[in-house]
Amino acid sequence: MIREPASFLWGAATSAHQVEGNNIHNDWWQWEQKTPGAVKSGAADDHYRLFREDFALARELGHNAHRLSLEWSRLELKEGQWNEGAIDHYREVLECLRENGLASFVTLHHFTNPMWLSKRGGWENKETPRLFARYAEMVAEHLGDLIDFWVTINEPMVYVTQSYWRACWPPQRHSLRATLKVIRHMAYGHRLAYENIHRVKPQAKVGIANSVIAFSPDSERKVGDKLAAGLNDWWYNHRFFGLTKGTHDFIGLNYYFPRKLGVKIMPLRVEQMPVSGLQSDLGWPIKAEGLTHILSYMKRYRLPIYITENGLADADDSRRADFIRDHLRAIERAQEGGADVRGYLHWSLLDNFEWIEGFKPRFGLVEVNYETMARKPRPSAYVYKAIIEQARK
């Protein structure tokens, strides 16, 4: 049984570019237009217009929390100029969450950058942390009264790996120097934003949403495998927390899958080994016990923990209900072991634009018909609702 069920936060998450539609002033949009083969986000879920309907649905589904992101490129259309229309829009959005009894988790950076910033070198530019913190301060001043939890940056390690190492997301750079520089700048940006938000709202609860992977060695008897798993855990799961020590009021974790690592020789390399069992439509292995494992290590930060994302692509909804049940049990087990987990946000409320994978993966508790924009909760959404109701009894 989940501990403290009365105050536990139950809900789902989304991000601006993936659901709002027509975010024409950011780097992803520009990249989608000019890159051969790239899927265009277009109107996405038209959530920019339909947010009232979507939040009412979340409430009907038993949620009492919701995570969304603000689109920086809408709020700061031109460098240093705040867009009153966008501020008013997001006030309405956040007020609507309150009206529906949904606590808000608000992300400031979820993979997209305003075009003006990207033209100045994006996160490689040493000025960007300061510009990001100025944006955070503006949000605190104009919208801070409506924000319950702040997520400054979503999945910094994913962003930097995809954009500056694997070179498959904009700006498609492949450079170790740039990778290390961007991590440093993002960490500094988070620290400055943390200070600015707290200056305006001293009681604010500020953190990040860190992507975590449950790494394990292919063989417990091989030192190399164990070393590879340990190093990956340190770099991917903990490095960003290390660089931003002392500037977290909670630990936000996005957990999706485990990864088994084996060291091979001739040539020397680390390989991802197959993980047995069920997979999502994207081929991601499903292993809820990985979450218990991760949480048992995250206790060390001695901070409240929120699962800011957890979910799977499952178009026929054949695995989602069990997935949710099993991951909630994994959280219970971690709570029994002393992890202070206080909320669970499923990814995602709605089917949405899954970056380079386009619209094919279906992550939603709610199915979206992209032609009519009709919403239809999947059976698993009602299973989740029943779990929430049961826990609150």
Please list every residue from 227 through 286 that binds ligand IFM, using CB under 6 A: 254
Judged by CB, which is closer to ligand IFM: 96, or 158?
A: 158
Sign of the dihedral through C-alpha 131, 136, 137, 143: positive
Q: Could you say whether residue 347 binds ligand IFM (CB under 6 A)?
A: yes
CB of 177 to ligand IFM, least distance (A): 25
By C-beta, is 39 or 87 nearer to ligand IFM?
39
Tell me if 15 contacts ligand IFM by CB under 6 A: yes
CB burial string 353-366: b at 16+ within 10 A, e below: bbbeeebebbbbbb
Q: How far is the CB of 44 from ligand IFM (least distance, A)?
A: 12
Angle (CA) 223 226 229, round 5°: 150
Shortest distance (Å) from residue 28 CB to ligand IFM? 11
Q: From the CB of 18, what's the least distance to ligand IFM, in Å?
A: 6
State yes or no: residue 354 binds ligand IFM (CB under 6 A): yes
The SS3 call for residue 386 is: helix
Measured distance CA(134)–CA(326) in Å, rounded: 41
Beta strands in 312-374 (DSSP E): 341-347, 366-368
If the CB atoms of residues 32 and 309 are measured against ligand IFM, the closer one turns out to be 309
Side-chain half-sphere of 233: how many Cα atoms within 13 Å? 20
Q: Kindly write out the interface string for residues 147-186 of this chain, putting x where it contacts ligand IFM by CB under 6 A and - elsewhere.
A: --------x-------------------------------
Nearer to ligand IFM, 280 or 335 (CB): 280
CA angle 235/241/244 to nearest 5° reads: 125
Q: How far is the CB of 284 from ligand IFM (least distance, A)?
A: 9
| Closest among 201, 208, 205, 159 to 183, alpha carbons compared | 159
- Where along the sequence are the contacts to ligand IFM (CB under 6 A)? 15, 18, 155, 254, 309, 347, 354
